Amino acid sequence: MTEGAGHLIFVVERDKHVRELLQVFLDAPGYTLQFFDDGEIALAQVWARRPQLVILEILVPKLDGLGLCRKIKLSPALSDTPVLVLSVLNAHDRARLAGADAFMLKPLDRHRLTATVQQLLSSPTSAAAAQEAHP
């Protein structure tokens, strides 16, 4: 059994190439990935399916990534769900204010991404998970 087996990860990203890259980076550890390109649909699915991690981009339609993060973190039923924000925007502080557990500036580094995902999945409620994952 692979190390990521059994972990459902939602990815909210509008860019097809970034989705493909995330698929490649996170496929090897064996995670189950579900992709969304719309924040409202992603939120409904977070409620319905309760993923172990949400990875999101800020710039998505209908409900932007920071709004989605806030809704997850303000819900008592969902607040323990770890959220990793990926963005081309230097928005670490805004992501933290929205409740994100980690932030990573694009372009993505495979090793940093997989290490951050593993950390968030192993201790989702840990204060240590709230980190800046970019240099």
* DSSP string over 92-118: HHHHHHHT-SEEEESSP-HHHHHHHHH
pLDDT band at residue 134 using 50, 70 and 90 as cut-offs: very low
Using one digit for the tens of pLDDT, what is the confidence trace for 53-74? Answer: 999 999 999 999 999 999 999 9
Looking at 46-50, 52-56, 60-64, 122-126, which range is the least confident one?
A: 122-126
* pLDDT, the chain, mean: 88
CB 86 within 8 Å of CB 57 = yes
pLDDT of 130 higher than 60: no
Indicate the pTM of the whole model: 0.87
The residue among 131 and 27 whose pLDDT is bigger is 27
